[in-house]
Amino acid sequence: MTTKRMISMVRGIGFALPILLLFLALPAFSQTHWLRVETARYDWNRDGKPYTFVLDIPRNWDAGGDYSRLRILAPDGRRFTFASRNGLTTLADTFDPQWARPHLAALLKKNPVTSQHLLFLPVNSKSENPLLLFLFGWAYGSSPGSLHVIALDKGVPQQILYRKEFQLMDYLDLNGDGHFGIIGKRCLSQAWGAGLLTYDPYSVYTLSHGRTGPALLSISLSTKYNLEHYYGWAGPDCSEKLAVVLHPPGGGKPVIMDAKKAEKLTDGTSSPRK
C-alpha cells in the first residue's frame, strides 16, 4: 500500500512551521502486534454514512497512555492512520472537573460519540455542524500532554492544530464571530518561594471560517482572556524570567514581575525551573 503523506501547518507567532500530518504509516509500527482498545462509529459528515474509529496499542507497549494509534475508516473505504509515539489518553484523565470551565464542561457532556477517548466539538457556536475531533496526549511530570485537533475536509481528515504540550481548559466564542476559540495552557504553573508562581499564560487559538484552515494563535484574544481570567498579561510565552507574586508585601492584587526581583521581594528562594 502506498503511504500517503500530507502537510499540515503549526502556526506560531509570526511564522508557520510545516510538519508531516499524522495520517501515515510509521515504519517502526509496521510489524507490531496490536491490541484493540476501543471501537467507535460516528456519522462525522452528517450524511448518514458513519466513520469507524479504531483505537489500538502495541502488545508490549511500555510508554504512557491508553492507546497510541487511531485508525479512521471512511465510508468509501479509504483508511487514515494517526500514530503517537508518546501515547494518547482518556477524556477522564484529561479533564479535571475542578479546573474545566463551565462551558467546556457542558460541551463534554454533549459529546455526540460514545467513546472514552474521542471528543467531538462544534466549530461554530450557532450550529452543531461541522464538528472537530480532539485527541489528547498522555500527561506526565510537568507536561500537560499534547493536543491534536482534526477537521474533516471533503471526507479527508486534516490536522488543523497540533501542540506538543497543551492543556485544553476552555472553548468559547470570544469575539462574537460565531466561531469557538481553543483556550488552554502550554505550560503547567509551578509554585516556589513565598507565594510565587511561574508565569504561564493562557493561549487562545482561533478557528478558520473555512473550518479546515489551520487554527492560529490570537495575541489580541489571548491578551483579553488573560486579563479577565489570569493575573495579567506579559506576553504569550511561558517564562522562567517572570513570576506571579500572589501576595505582594504591600498588599493588593497579584502582580507579574521579574523573577529575580520577586525572589528578593519575598524570601529569596530561586525558581523551581532552574
- Classified as helix, coil or strand, 17 is strand
Describe the chain by its helix, strand, coil percentages, rounded to 5.
10, 40, 50
Higher model confidence: residue 62 or residue 258? 258
Mean pLDDT for the chain overall: 84
Backbone angles phi, psi at 223, to 5 degrees: -60, -50
The answer to whether the beta carbons of residues 36 and 45 sit under 8 Å apart is no
For the chain, the structural domain boundaries read: 7-188+204-230
Q: What is the pLDDT of residues 159-192, one digit of tens each?
A: 999 999 999 999 999 988 888 999 999 998 889 8
Could you write out the DSSP letters of every residue in 163-229?
A: ESS-EEEEEE--SSSSB-EEEEESS---EETTTEEEE--EEEEEPPTTSSSPPEE-HHHHHHHHHHH
The whole-number pLDDT of residue 128 equals: 73
Report H helices in 13-159. Answer: 91-94, 102-109
For residue 126, give the C-alpha cell. Answer: 450557532
Q: What is the pLDDT of residues 53-96, one digit of tens each?
A: 999 999 988 888 999 999 999 999 999 999 988 899 999 999 87
Rounded distance between C-alpha atoms, residue 270 and residue 264, angstroms: 9
The whole-number pLDDT of residue 271 equals: 52
Q: Running DSSP on this structure, what letter comes out for residue 85?
A: E
Identify the residue whose cell numbers are 485508525. 71
pTM: 0.84
